[in-house]
Amino acid sequence: MSFQHILCPVDLSGFSEQAIRVASSIARADGGKLYFLYVAMPELPLSAAGAIPDVNAHLKMEQAKLEQIRPTQVEVRFERFFIRGEPVQVIIDFVKDHNIDLIVMPTHGRTGLLRLLMGSVTEKVVRLAPCPVLAVKSPEADSSGKNESGPIS
């Protein structure tokens, strides 16, 4: 099986680092193209956006962080996408719109009550995606789901 269009959704935290390494290796081995996708918060109603003045500054900071992400294998072709919306729906729509044949995404490794309360984007994507999904757990994640390596910079 060869993967030509590989999606790597990133959350701009240290959890994404291992997924980026794995996705880069697969893309290099298969000669595929890698798509990095960051899903930002959905657009706010005009009244709420005015009440939260730092929203635009925060979005610009997130876009700048995304621009720093690149494959760990230099010869891998790639593109970056910054889309606002609900993460699971944006990922599924992106897969369909870009003919993605593999998703490689990080998982935070949350368990128990924390997982129940917060849900799992990765778990939902696994259930809904029309293609294979490789969930990559960060080796730095401890049992609480915290990643000691911090955000990607």
**pLDDT tens column, 89-147:** 999 999 999 999 999 998 875 555 555 544 588 889 999 999 999 999 876 554 444 44
* Closest to 36 measured CA to CA, from 11, 57, 73, 55: 11
Residue 46 structure tokens? 């005009």
Which of 13 and 20 is assigned the larger pLDDT?
20
- How far apart are the C-alpha atoms of 59 and 145, rounded to whole Å? 25
Instruction: Please identify which residue in the block is written with the tokens 């269009």.
Output: 5
| pTM of the entire predicted model | 0.82
- How far apart are the C-alpha atoms of 123 and 146, rounded to whole Å? 18
Domains for the chain: give ranges and CATH numbers. 5-137 (3.40.50.620)
- Whether 35 contacts 76, CB under 8 Å: no
**pLDDT tens column, 28-69:** 999 999 999 999 987 766 555 555 666 778 888 999 999 999
Give the pLDDT band (50/70/90) at residue 8: very high
